[in-house]
Amino acid sequence: MESIYKRRLCDNDNAAGDTIRIVDISPGPTDAPLECRLRYAKLDEKPVYDAISYCWGGQVPTISMMCEGRQVKITQNLFDAFSTFRRPDTTVALWADALCINQSDNREKSHQVSLMWKIYSQAREVRVWFGPDPDGCANQVIEILENLRNRAEQVAERSNSTTSELLSNTVIYVDAQRGVPSLANLKSFAEEFSTKRREGFYNFLRHPWFRRAWIVQEVVMSNNAVVYWGASSVPWRTTRDAIAFFYRSGIYSSVASSSSGISHLSLQPVIALMGAVERFQDSEMSLLDVLMLHRASEASDPRDKVLAFTNLAMPGDDRIVADYSADTQTTYKQVVEVCLAAYPTFSILQVPPIPRERSQLQLPSWVPDWSAPALGTLVVQNLAERDGPGTAAQRFDAALTSRFPKSFNVRDNILELSGFIVDEIVSISDCYSTPDYITSSLAGATPMTAIPLVTAADIYSRCKVAKSGHRNSSYPTGEDSFSAMIKTLCALQHVDSSSADFPSHTFQHLIRSGRLAAALDKLGFRHVPKLHSLALRILEKITDRLPGADKNEDTAPQEDIAKFLTLLSQGLNYQNLFRTRLGYLGRTLSCRAKKGDCIALVRGCRQPLILRRLKGNPGSWTLEGASYLHGAMRGELFDVAKCETLRIV
């Protein structure tokens, strides 16, 4: 393909320039062969063109077309886009990476990637190409999108807010007193949606375009994006608002099911894309924030899991320069080295790791593998501590970082830190995953009273594992162990568990219910839905009569249940509970942590790290993740005099 390029876009005289290529699609009838020419233009001269945002997928260039009088091969998807956008009597100016960048020239690719933000922000229109519409469902899906956005506008108007303000909420609550449409109306719409061409809409949400890493920058930077699906089109803004309302209003939870293939995890790239648009407009994302938010995205080149997002981060010392001559390991290691130097604390070391069996790369344990998503990708954000005071990252300071600054040294693949081992994990639960019906209940789409006690059993079983072998009623800090467990469960939330309005009796109700609900599971009731449902209803009636229940206290009110569910959904999801040898309770997002791992306090790190001794190499450790350790998060156990060099490999 090099023969179609008359000159490089990164010659010495253009190393820092803004010259790009534009594809001019020649006019012609629908059945005529595709032909185009490449035109060189400087972005500073404001050329007129439309940029295509599309998905390469697993396709390889196999379809022929004529470019500069020579035959070249492109992917089927790009060929379909060119064919659809071609006009019978007018040349169409487009920008598409496959032809406008010499893909075999790493230096040119590196240079042009640095201009991508400018290319898409200056485009007259960004054409989001979803491909042909062989099933003829595009118009039906667009009708649903427009209906959802109209509903969002109605809710916003009746709640005295703008649509943008409404959709920026994590969850849209239904409040009849403020004139917001009643719960019955939302449920009615959910039922209408569930029977009205929902499979086409699900296929739309499952489209691989949403998972592509590069599309985030392409639509975020755009001033005018339009989604094209076959011969149909809809503004991107309508699409974005409709999806946000679908997810955050509770309609998603009401109609989604395991058979639909739509779940919170499967929607992570879509949800992250919505968040990127909102947060980019507020200019509040660091490089680490961006990488964490979009960790579930996909790219055929694993280096693009970093390079596709560098232009989205706000200006700072953490900017990565694209270099396609460097391999993936070098690129990922550069991210860590830049973050270690740029951020005031070691937030990069708190990134949840992926299971080792899912990694195809030979990386040091302290270098996150961005090539595959990790559980809880959307749970841990703002790790770079640029989100202001009061957040979990700012409230916790296990190593007293304001008094004792970071200390580190990188030697080849070894990271040397200053810290000490404070404890060891002796029991740990499996990972907890919040069921979809909890999100539905939070949004008001499912009555709180309909929440299965299965949740109680799941939480109880993990609390039981975390406390196994620990018989003392008191905690190492002097507080009672039940209070410590409550505080550990909601550790990352803005809740003062000592305040009068903290729903401690709700947790007592949960533990009592969970003990019996877990017993039902052992009897196999969960596998017989009707019998299980009946047993749970009976269990609800007798729970408050169990020993330990406060006979003078009413059943936990709806508000307390909602508060607990909020804490559970936002804080415990994808986490493991554990207990240490000294009796401390903790939690971690690490899927690698296991019994026998050690807890370390490290200078410059706000959270305790989980380390594992490297067999046959005394003094060396592997990093297995970060943790919350109740009773140690404000420097209670940190002693700088105990610090020594910890070699992380």
Question: Residue 306: pLDDT band by 50, 70, 90 thresholds?
Answer: very high
pLDDT at 251: 72
Domain ranges for the chain: 2-129, 145-198+233-374, 433-573
Q: What percent of the chain has pLDDT over 90?
A: 43
Rounded to 5°, angle at Cα 571 from 448 and 634: 140
Rounded to 5°, angle at Cα 433 from 432 and 434: 120
The separation between CA 343 and the C-alpha centre of its own chain, rounded to angstroms, equals: 21
pLDDT at 552: 47
Cα separation of 402 and 422, whole Å? 20
Question: Is residue 374 predicted with pLDDT exceeding 50?
Answer: yes
Q: Residue 386 is encoded by which pair of tokens?
A: 């640029």
Chain segment 563-616, per-residue pLDDT in tens = 565 556 556 677 888 999 999 999 998 889 999 999 999 999 999 999 999 988
Question: Is residue 451 predicted with pLDDT exceeding 70?
Answer: no
- Residue of 256, 286, 290 whose CA lies nearest to 275: 290
Please, which residues bridge with residue 587 across strands? Answer: 577, 628
Residue with tokens 């018989």: 471
Between strands 50-53 and 92-95, the pairing is parallel
Question: Is residue 171 predicted with pLDDT exceeding 60?
Answer: no
pLDDT at 614: 93
pLDDT at 445: 41
Chain segment 531-568, per-residue pLDDT in tens = 545 555 555 555 444 334 444 444 555 455 555 655 56
Q: Residue 263 is encoded by which pair of tokens?
A: 């779940």
Cα separation of 153 and 167, whole Å? 10
Chain segment 457-503, per-residue pLDDT in tens = 566 666 666 655 555 668 899 988 777 887 887 765 544 444 434 44
> What would the mean pLDDT of 273-299 be, rounded to a whole number?
77
Question: Is residue 153 predicted with pLDDT exceeding 60?
Answer: yes
Question: Is residue 253 predicted with pLDDT exceeding 80?
Answer: no
Under 8 Å between Cβ of 79 and 10: no
Cα separation of 535 and 544, whole Å? 15
> Alpha helix (H) ranges present in 159-303?
163-167, 183-195, 198-205, 214-220, 236-248, 251-255, 268-281, 287-293
> What would the mean pLDDT of 259-273 be, rounded to a whole number?
67
Which residues contact residue 187 at a Cβ distance below 8 angstroms, ignoring those fewer than 6 apart? 254, 445
Under 8 Å between Cβ of 447 and 441: yes
Which residues contact residue 192 at a Cβ distance below 8 angstroms, ignoring those fewer than 6 apart? none
- Residue of 586, 602, 598 whose CA lies nearest to 345: 602
> Alpha helix (H) ranges present in 6-162?
76-85, 97-100, 106-113, 116-122, 138-158
Residue with tokens 């190393």: 15
Residue with tokens 């039906």: 140
Least-confidence region, from 265-274, 337-346, 363-372: 265-274
Chain segment 417-440, per-residue pLDDT in tens = 999 999 999 999 887 665 544 444
pLDDT at 289: 85
Question: Is residue 379 predicted with pLDDT exceeding 50?
Answer: no
Question: Residue 47: pLDDT band by 50, 70, 90 thresholds?
Answer: very high
Average pLDDT, the chain: 79
